[in-house]
Amino acid sequence: MALLTAFAVGFTPTVAPTPARAQTLPPGMPVIRDAEIEQLLRDYTQPILRAAGLGQQKIQVIIINDRSFNAFVMDGRHIFINAGALIDAKVPNEVIGVLAHETGHMAGGHLSRLRQQLANAQMASIVAMILGIGAAAAARGGGNPAAAILGPQETIRRSLLSYQRAQEEQADRGGVKFLAATGQSAKGMSDTFRRLSDQILFASQNADPYMQSHPMPAERVAALEILARNSPNWDKKDPPELQLRHDMMRAKLTGFLDRADTVARRYPPSDVSLPARYARAISTYRHADLRGALAQIDGLIQAQPNNPYFYELKGQALLEGGKPAEAIAPLHRAIQLAPYPALIQVLLAQALNGANTGKSADEAVTLLRTALAQEPESVEGYSQLALAYGRKGDLAQADLASALAAFMRGDHPTARQLAARAKTRFPVGSPGWVKADDILTVKSAGPGH
């Protein structure tokens, strides 16, 4: 549940065939993992976080597989943004504006303050109820006993909602401030609010403004637009190279998330732009023939021979097409070119495990150890590590990796069962034995890696 949310109107990921979730995220949250998109979001977010004094916090942007336009924060470590927001935003500045607003919540300490307000409201509600019961007892001879109880509770609820509206306004101001500090326009942020305001205007026409957790759309849009227009970079446009990366992200999400006919309508053959070709290549490999998809992907590589994510796509298409040995070479090339290759390293390890030739298990273990140092909560990473160790005949490490994969999935009974077996295979007191013992003793927090 979103505690602080900027907007609420209302892909198969490249590493695993089903959305994976980190152990630290709420169970069942449908998370999309993709090296290319996550790198773009890092590039969008890092200047904003530095301007907010949060550059050293290692805050991660998490993509939710949901087509509605929404973004929110739930803790001090993650900004969540829906795939629908990324697809609907036509320019980078719109997404950057959303991320700036959510950073405003983090920089303002709104989460901890809201928790305190909720605690205060709970205490005030209890006191109000006790006083209301007393007033009701005194009023038994006449009057309205229910009003004596419900009246104070309604006042407390309105006060809490008012506090949340104030936080949203503060996050707007903080977002505009961070955009100005990084030399970026606040126009995208303002345009996004206006578009969403138009969508929900009818629904809010008869709403009580004091019962809303966010400012009423017209008020919020007007106040934000004044702030944005007064910022120094209102007319500044996104660089063309950033716009292209943004368009490629939208095309990639569409290719993975949408049906083939939807992709064909949005990116018809007459559109020969690189994003359109990207979306069609992804859709072809997912819904049609592998040979045709590979021809399209090779065309993309020819157009941008140093784009790591085209090689990644080729490797994934080959791997999922039952050709793991052929997937190895393009994935090696992708890792050489990618700035943050951990997710691609897991994919290459999967191809090596699938090929199962020569020393492929040794290479897979090395790759996975490197990847898991960057992605210590990767279920797929630990699953592939277990398979690689099994191929090597190292049953102790295979059991331990399987236990960690189960733990990261949230399947604690299986994790404990596998960890108990792993302990019997390791020398007492060895690092593997200690790690297995951690899994057996820990209940909610993840074991140290």
CA dihedral 139, 144, 148, 153 (to 10 degrees): 160
| CB within 8 Å of 2: residues ≥ 6 apart | 8, 70, 72, 74, 80
pTM confidence score: 0.80
Higher pLDDT, 173 or 317: 317
Please tell me the total count of domains within the chain: 2
Question: What CATH number is given to the structural domain containing 405?
Answer: 1.25.40.10
21 forms beta bridges with none
Residues 223, 337 within the same domain: no
Most confident range (mean pLDDT) of 65-79, 109-123, 203-217 is 65-79
Q: Is residue 442's pLDDT more than 80?
A: yes
Give pLDDT tens digits for 123-136. Answer: 444 444 444 444 44
For the segment 317-328, the average pLDDT, to the nearest whole number, is 97
- Which has the higher per-residue pLDDT, 18 or 237? 237
Alpha carbon distance 316, 248 (integer Å): 17
Task: Please tell me the predicted confidence (pLDDT) of residue 22.
Answer: 35
Structural domain for 342, as ranges: 240-441
| Residue 255 lies inside a defined structural domain of this protein | yes
Residue at a domain's end among 211, 239, 267? 239
pLDDT tens readout for residues 406-422: 999 999 999 999 999 99
**Does pLDDT of 205 surpass 60?**
no
Same domain, 62 and 190: yes
**Average pLDDT value for residue range 311-325:** 97
Which pLDDT score, from 0 to 100, does residue 74 have?
80
416 occurs within a structural domain? yes
**395: in domain:** yes
In the prediction, which pLDDT does 219 show?
78
Whether 227 is covered by a domain: the verdict is yes
Domain assignment of residue 154, yes or no: no
Q: Helices 395-409 & 431-441, crossing angle to 10 degrees? A: 30
3-state SS track over 74-118: CCCCEEEEEHHHHHHCCCHHHHHHHHHHHHHHHHCCHHHHHHHHH
92-107 and 35-51 helices, crossing angle to 10°: 50
The interaxial angle of helices 308-320 and 35-51, nearest 10 deg, is: 140
Residues 253 and 229 in one domain: no
Task: Check residues 281 and 130 and name the one with the higher pLDDT.
Answer: 281
Say if residue 234 is in the same domain as residue 245: no
Which span out of 1-5, 72-76, 325-329 was modeled with the highest average pLDDT? 325-329
Q: pLDDT averaged over the chain?
A: 82
Same domain, 393 and 417: yes
Average confidence (pLDDT) over 69-88: 90
Kindly state the percentage of the chain with pLDDT values over 70.
Answer: 75
Percent of the chain with pLDDT over 90: 63
Question: Are 413 and 394 contained in the same domain?
Answer: yes
Q: Is 423 found in the same domain as 292?
A: yes
Tell whether the model's pLDDT for residue 326 goes beyond 90: yes
What is the signed CA dihedral for 359, 377, 400, 324, rounded to 10 degrees?
-30
Is the domain of 105 the same as that of 222?
A: yes
143 within some domain = no
Same domain, 94 and 230: yes
Residues 232 and 318 reside in one and the same domain: no
**Claim to verify: residue 244 and residue 269 sit in the same structural domain:** yes
Rounded average pLDDT over 198-209? 47
pLDDT attached to residue 143 = 53
> Same domain for 200 and 80?
yes
Q: How confident is the model at residue 220 (pLDDT cuts 50, 70, 90)?
A: confident
pLDDT of residue 195: 83
- 142 in any annotated domain: no
Identify the pLDDT of residue 79. 92
70 or 146, which is more confident:
70
Residue 29 pLDDT:
78
Last residue of a domain, one of 204, 239, 274: 239
pLDDT of residue 196: 79
Strand partners, 60: 78
Among 195, 218, 239, which residue terminates a domain? 239
pLDDT for 193 equals 81
Q: In this predicted structure, which of 102-116, 275-289, 355-369, 397-411 has the lowest mean pLDDT?
A: 102-116
Higher pLDDT, 3 or 216: 216
44, two tokens: 């969008």
Flag whether pLDDT at 394 surpasses 80: yes
In a domain, 63, yes or no: yes
